[in-house]
Amino acid sequence: MLKSKIMTLLLVLTCLLSIPFQALADTASTAPKPKSVLMLYDSLAIGTPQEGNIEALQRLFAGFSVSVTVMSLEAYHQGDINGFDQAVLVRNKVDEIQKLPADLVRDWNGFQGSLLQVGGGLTDRMRQALHIQDKRLDQDYASIRIDQLQEDLIPVNGISYLTSYEGQAYGSLTSEKLNLKAPYGVRNGMFAYIPYMTKGNLTEWSAAYVLRDWLGVKTASHAYVMMEGIYPFSNLELVNQMADRLYDAGIPFIAGVQPTFGNWDYPAMQRYMEALKHIQARNGSIVVQTPIVDSTSPPAALKLPNEMSSFLNQLGSSGIAPVGIATEMYWSYDKQYTADALSFFDSGIVLPNKKAWYREKTNTSSTFTSAVYTISEKELAAYGSSQAARDPLPINTALVYTFTDDAAALSKLLDAITSTWTTFADYKNEVHTVHTPSNVFSSQSGHLAINGTGVHLNDQVQDVDSAHVYVQEGPQSLTTLFSVQNNILIVLIVATLLLFGIFIIIGHRLYKRKYEQPWRS
């Protein structure tokens, strides 16, 4: 009887304990598949004002966690559009709008998914769906207003100003030359049109407002603040002071930390871990930045997965739970980088490309379940928000600052962050998972865990002894013999020097006696 009760109790406990894991499994199995978008373009517009707008669109889509396949019109074949949820056509050839391939026209007109066009030369289907009438102007200066943002006197080329349309308008595009005010972009159900977009000005960010609704994004967006460029050789005392000041101001922040691959027992590395633990305890979210790439040679490339895994495991053994990765956008368009580094993370912060070092480039991007777009505060300030408290952009956005070892410059930077009325969200409140073969790091509702165990937050920075033997001594033999020989040689040398000194003194006296005798006539 007792045995039967014990078995029943164990069965009940097993069922209760399995509920959370089953819920996680159900959540994973029902997680929405990322949307897939085919982006077609007629030209990369190298050497023109539109250069870079393809890359800008790619990063915007990455911030919305959308997988994009990029293809030129010349590479398109009949049926390539099939299987995609949505399609984008970017037309950069403003001087000569080339005729679309017949296969594409046929597929475009029959496509059942959502369609977006960027640039002039509207297709018949888009013009009819949006009931567009427009005026085209080759050279002009335009002013843009959208939400709280504005930019004046943007040079534009080959732009179509909408004079009539049907659907929802986004922002405004004002032309002094034409003396008219047109919408920046329009959307009507599955169809959307952006007449003009370039990289590096407000037209880039304005596209996010159109893309959000066109993609059907319903979740609220958040604004985060991120401090990037924290290295083991940074001034860690200033790092700790920065964390303290942001914590005292009630501002949660993301810390972009640079990974290191080895030398874990060095005092410098131990102090680095202590600083990261302090950041974590001061409401900072640890995000690993991708390693700096300056070569794609196979020997360096093959070590990446093991090195990333070892760094993450070292963080775990130090009680630090990373919650994501910060990466330049081109990493997500490389099969090797995706497999060797990005695959450890389901959350990513997408930085603009500085210089692309591809290893195995692909035209289809990998995606993060949770993604964040990035801008600099300097860029945002240039677009003059009219309100002290800025609303979040329509895409999850991190305002990125670079950590500096200059105490005065850092203080000024922190003044700018703490004086803003913008409400910054806590990155840890979202669901994040990082996994290696040895550890699983997780974050949900502000709680960090390593392998299911909550992380202990301790804001006391431990002192690290600087005494360390950086080069280990090997086994030694005949040490005593050599020591005795050295002592004997030292005695012999000293004795020789003394004798030599005595001989010099004696010789000097003899010299004086010989040449200093009284002169006799």
Give the tens place of pLDDT for each residue, 144-174. 999 989 999 888 888 889 999 999 999 999 9
Banded model confidence at residue 7, pLDDT cuts 50, 70, 90: very low
CA 446 to CA 492: how far, in whole Å? 74
Asked if 234 and 268 touch (Cβ cutoff 8 Å), the reply is: no
Q: For 124, what's the count of Cα atoms within 13 Å in the CB-facing half-sphere? A: 8
Ranges of beta strands (E only) in 91-222 are 114-118, 133-146, 149-164, 168-170, 172-175, 180-182, 185-188, 191-194
Alpha-carbon distance values, 235 to 84, 276, 336, 354 (Å): 49, 13, 33, 25
Distances (CA, A) of 247 to 209, 284, 445, 490: 32, 8, 18, 63
- 482: pLDDT strictly greater than 90: no
Q: So what's the pLDDT on residue 90? A: 96
- Res 80 pLDDT > 90: yes
Average pLDDT over residues 33-43: 90
Spatial CA neighbour of 122 closest among 110, 136, 111:
136
Asked if residues 331 and 338 have their Cβ atoms less than 8 Å apart, the reply is yes
The mean pLDDT value of the chain amounts to 85
Using DSSP's 3-state secondary structure scheme, residue 71 falls into: strand
Position 461 scores a pLDDT of 54
Cβ–Cβ contacts within 10 Å for residue 363, how many? Answer: 12
- Tell me what percent of the residues of the chain surpass a pLDDT of 70: 84
Q: For the domain covering 223-454, report its CATH number.
A: 3.20.20
* Distance, CA of 170 to CA of 192 (rounded, Å): 11
Q: Crossing angle, helix 236-248 and helix 407-419, to 10 degrees? A: 20
Are 310 and 303 contacting, i.e. CB atoms less than 8 angstroms apart? no
Of the two residues 6 and 350, the one the predictor is more confident about is: 350
**Encoded tokens for 325:** 């990765």
Ranges 64-68, 381-385, 477-481, most confident: 64-68
What was the pLDDT predicted at 36?
93
The answer to whether residue 520 scores a pLDDT higher than 90 is no
Taking CB atoms within 8 Å and a gap of at least 24, the contacts of 418-421 are: 418/245, 418/246, 418/249, 418/251, 420/388, 420/389, 420/390, 421/388, 421/389, 421/390
**CA angle, residues 40, 44, 48, in degrees to nearest 5:** 140
Query: What radius of gyration do the chain's Cα atoms show?
Result: 33
Rounded Cα distance between 114 and 126, Å, is 11
What pLDDT sits at residue 177?
82
User: Half-sphere exposure (CA, 13 Å, Cβ side) for 495?
Assistant: 6
The Cβ of residue 343 has, within 10 Å, a number of other Cβ atoms equal to: 13
**Residues 6 or more apart whose Cβ sits within 8 Å of residue 135:** 160, 161, 163, 178, 180
Q: Which CATH fold would you assign to the domain 36-132+184-215?
A: Rossmann fold (3.40.50)
Q: What value does the mean pLDDT take over residues 487-493? A: 85
pLDDT in tens, 117-140: 999 889 999 999 999 999 888 888
Lowest mean pLDDT among 4-8, 207-211, 435-439, 485-489: 4-8
Could you report the per-residue pLDDT of 247-278, keeping only the tens digit for each?
999 999 999 999 988 777 788 889 999 999 99
Structure tokens at 95: 């001087």
C-beta atoms surrounding 231 within 10 Å: 16
pLDDT at 498 over 90: no
**pLDDT of 51-75, one tens digit each?**
999 999 999 999 999 999 999 999 9
Bridge pairing between strands 447-450 and 440-444 = antiparallel
pLDDT given at position 169: 97
Are residues 37 and 66 in contact, defined by beta-carbon separation less than 8 angstroms?
yes
Q: Which two tokens stand for residue 499?
A: 């004798």
Tracing tokens 């101001």 back to the chain, one arrives at 249
The residue extents of the domains of the chain are: 36-132+184-215, 223-454
